[in-house]
Amino acid sequence: MNVVDRDLAHALPVETTAAPLSWPERIENYRREIGIPYLGYENGWTYGTWFMGNSYEKRNDYYGGFQGNFLKRIAALFPDRQRVLHLFAGRVDLERFPGDTLDCRAELAPTYCANAETCEGVPLHHYDFVLCDPPYSASDSERYGVAMVNRNKVVRALAEGLRPGAYVAWLDQVYPMFTKVLLKPEAVIGIVGSTNHRFRVLTVFRRQV
pLDDT at site 146: 75
CA 159: distance to chain centroid?
Answer: 14
Decide: 115 and 105 in contact? Cβ < 8 Å: no
Listed in sequence order, the residues at least 6 apart from 112 whose beta carbon sits closer than 8 Å to its beta carbon are 100, 101, 102, 103, 119, 121, 122
pLDDT at site 76: 97
pLDDT at site 54: 61
Number of alpha helices (DSSP H) and beta strands (DSSP E) in the chain = 5, 9
* pTM for the full predicted model: 0.86
Q: What's phi and psi for 131, nearest 5 deg?
A: -105, 120
Query: For each of the chain's 209 residues, which pLDDT tens digit applies?
Result: 333 334 444 445 555 557 889 999 999 999 999 999 999 999 999 999 999 876 555 455 555 567 789 999 999 999 999 999 999 988 899 999 999 999 998 999 999 999 999 999 999 999 999 999 998 766 766 776 677 789 999 999 999 999 999 999 999 999 999 999 999 999 999 999 877 777 899 999 999 98
124: DSSP letter = G
pLDDT at site 209: 83
CATH, domain range 19-194: 3.40.50
pLDDT at site 111: 97
pLDDT at site 181: 95
* Per-domain residue ranges of the chain: 19-194
pLDDT at site 60: 53
Listed in sequence order, the residues at least 6 apart from 107 whose beta carbon sits closer than 8 Å to its beta carbon are none
Q: Report the C-alpha gap between 56 and 174 in whole angstroms.
A: 22
